[in-house]
Amino acid sequence: MTDLLKYAIELVAVLLLALGIKGLSKVRSARGANQLAALAMGLAVFGLLLNYLGTSGISIAAWTWIIAGTLVGGVLGVITAQRVPMTSMPETVALFNGCGGMSSLLVALAAALYPAVLEAAGPVAVVSIVVSVFVGAITFTGSIVAMAKLQGWLSTPDWMQSRARHAVNIALAVGSLVGAVEMLRNADSSTGLWLVVVASGLLGIGVTLPIGGADMPVVISLLNSYSGVAAAAAGFVVGSQLLIVAGAMVGAAGLILTQVMCNGMNRSLVSVLFGGALGATAATGGGGGEYTNITSCSVEECALTLEAAERVVIVPGYGLAVAQAQHTLREVTRVLESAGIDVSYAIHPVAGRMPGHMNVLLAEADVPYEQLQEMDQINPEFPATDVVLVLGANDVVNPQAKSDPNSPLYGMPVLDVQDARTVFVVKRGMSAGYSGIKNDLFELANTSMLFGDAKKVLGDLLVELKDLGLGKK
């Protein structure tokens, strides 16, 4: 009866997880889908505990630790989810990926260091332990490095941009392979086990540390895929079919998302992992030089132009998240909509610092899902757009991606905002984006710069629009 109940729980959990992952593909259903996936993982934990119910090998003390750990982890997760600001969400996702990798690593280590498990382990279990340790260690250290870089705690050393890093990473990979072979030859070899742990952990650092901030969306989605692979391998270790299925689904979804991110940046995965930071090529590529023909304007001029517009497109970027200006932006768009102006948002797949960053940011401000339009959908509409308001975006609106073959951005799909009648760009200054190159959009005749913090500029713009009579019933 217990086995039947366990399999029923696992089947329900797998179905809920599949529905959850499917629902995450759409903004409207993403929140509910996330809750379904969380319920599925809760059932997974319950099913695994049910499998060991009544097992004589598990003491009351062990059950106490399991229950206490579950409660403490759950409370910490809730607190973290409620307190983390949107600007820190990429770092939080990287940390969660690292926690997933560490969990799989610890499960595999526990199995490898427990003699009774190794004695009964077959070849598949030993291989699963090796894979879980290897991928879990890389995921954990790589995710922690990614989080530290996004947080500004780490920067890439100069030597990590040289070819010497490849030799170091290859040596670490060989060390991991030697340890894995030793474990396969002798399952209870502690030397082989710890060699895999140390070498693969250092390899995660060595691969992630040279990667620049522009490529972080790709890295985060790839590490998410790694955490799924590690979880699937851990599922073989503990004999959990649900963990195997869930890990495989997460691994596949993360890999697909990684490819989508690479396509959105016109970058191959090989160039992201082994080519170093995108900005490193800017010095030798095209697109350099100083700005010579910049037109700036006042908030009043921007408000007058918006008042006369029929269609307005907002292009959000990481600068909007930094300024925490999404709620002020929503107030501005409400005023425009009350005046009969059509408002929509152009979402580039790699805007921000993680996949879907802008979608989540705008959802927090209660922006209607119908107004969020992907790049392929919105690009043909720019020629019929009166005003485009660019907020903190840079490389994703740079025309060099289509016009300059020598530019590091050349070939990257971008938003064609330059085709609109008028473009206003809100920036603190003239600093370059992650690519390290100038943006030709800023010098076009139909572009005007609004310098200042996005939240203050939008606040002033809101006041001006109301003074013009917009928003009054």
**Distance from C-alpha of 276 to C-alpha of 278, rounded to nearest angstrom:** 7
Specify burial of residue 159 (Cβ count, 10 A radius: 0-12, 13-18, 19+): exposed
Instruction: Give the tokens for residue 166.
Output: 């490849």
CB 207 within 8 A of CB 269: no
419 is catalytic: no
Up-side HSE of residue 311: CA atoms within 13 Å toward CB?
Answer: 13
Which residues, including other chains, have CB under 8 Å from residue 330's CB and lie 6 or more apart? 362, 365, 366, 367
Strands (E), 186-266: none
**Distance from C-alpha of 382 to C-alpha of 390, rounded to nearest angstrom:** 13
Which residues, including other chains, have CB under 8 Å from residue 105's CB and lie 6 or more apart? 132, 133, 136, 137, 140, 197, 230
**Distance from C-alpha of 358 to C-alpha of 326, rounded to nearest angstrom:** 10
**Distance from C-alpha of 285 to C-alpha of 277, rounded to nearest angstrom:** 13
Number of helices (H), then strands (E), belonging to the chain: the values are 18, 6
Neighbours of 310 (CB within 10 A): 11
What are 437's strand-pairing partners? none
**The residue count for the chain:** 473
First to last CA, the chain: 66
Options 376, 386, 395, 453, the catalytic residue: 395
Catalytic residues: 395
